[in-house]
Amino acid sequence: MTNSGHLFFSLDRMWTIGRNTMTEVIRQKFFYILLLFGIVVLCTAIYFSQITISTPAEQVKFIKDFGLAAIMVFGSLIAIVGTAQLLPLELDNRTIYPILAKPVHRAEFLLGKFVGMAALLFLTVLLMSGIFAGLLFYAEHYFKQTTLSDPTVAVDASTRELVNMLVRQIRDVNLVKAVVLTYFKVVMVCAISLLISTFATSVIFNVIASFMIYVCGHLESTARQVWVGSQASWSKFMLPIITFFVPDLNAFNIADAVVNGQFVPMHYVYKTIGYGLFYTSAVLAAAYVIFQEKEI
């Protein structure tokens, strides 16, 4: 507190709230259920690839596609469910009152909640990505063993080229880009869910509304392409509104390009991350304005 009575923003207080937020969410049963279920689903990728697909190249594509999808889906679910209940539970348990009664700025409290969830999502995506990488290297070892060490298989130049191609697909640096964009995507979803929770007190409503925006965000780019080619006047009016309020979450999804072996340029990754940071900042600013005027 300064002499003028104004409270300055403190990163230490914000990070303290963030650490407490991480602890609170980790203690929730839903977190363990979603995380464990996501890991189990991720680990079944190799099994399903072997029983449904015959060629090694297609198996590698399946594992990559399945793994990236699992990280995105369960990361998004944890972001939505975890963030949606932060403020409502604080109000229901009345734990927010003694916190805000202390010299704690509302911006510190709100950003602390967001930073805590963003850090937890980082650890979650990192854990699932590590398991995903382990599955890929297991697949690489398995294909090498069954192809190069099998005495019944003639190892010729074409066979070695096939193995080298599989190794290049498994060690594709574009997989890292896909995971990085997935993280910034779930952070955006986290910010949107936090914004909704500033004016809605029901956890169920927060989850449903966040999920609807999540679905609409994946359809935004498709709708924009359709409306751009439309001659209707109402579509030209609605297009900028929808583009402004609904995030283009599909821009973060490069799994199809990665699975098909297409190169994703770094400038696209930087541009998409920049878009995500800008949209997240705008959403957090709106959340602060609402939360600052909220009677607690």
Read off the pLDDT of residues 50-101 as tens digits, 9 standing for 90 and up: 777 767 788 888 999 999 999 999 999 999 999 999 888 888 878 888 887 7
Is residue 3 one of the residues assigned to a domain?
no
Domain of residue 122: give its range. 11-293
Count of structural domains within the chain: 1
Query: Which pair of tokens denotes residue 37?
Result: 């279920």
Looking at residue 1, its pLDDT comes to 37
Q: Do the Cβ atoms of 206 and 200 come closer than 8 Å?
A: yes
pTM exceeds 0.85, yes or no:
yes
Is residue 5 one of the residues assigned to a domain?
no
Buried b (16+ CB within 10 A) or exposed e, 139-148: bbeebeeebe
Is residue 139 one of the residues assigned to a domain?
yes
Is residue 186 one of the residues assigned to a domain?
yes
Q: Do the Cβ atoms of 252 and 162 come closer than 8 Å?
A: no
Query: Which pair of tokens denotes residue 224?
Result: 């924009």
Is residue 2 one of the residues assigned to a domain?
no
* Matching residue, tokens 């690839």: 49
Q: Do the Cβ atoms of 248 and 275 come closer than 8 Å?
A: yes
Is residue 4 one of the residues assigned to a domain?
no
- Picking from 107, 295, 100, the residue whose alpha carbon sits closest to that of residue 199 is 295
Is residue 6 one of the residues assigned to a domain?
no
Please tell me which residue, 178 or 53, carries the higher pLDDT value. 178
C-alpha R_g of the chain = 23
- The least confident of 93-97, 140-144, 223-227 is 223-227
* Per-residue CA distances from 28 to 67, 81, 86, 121, 204 (Å): 25, 11, 11, 14, 16
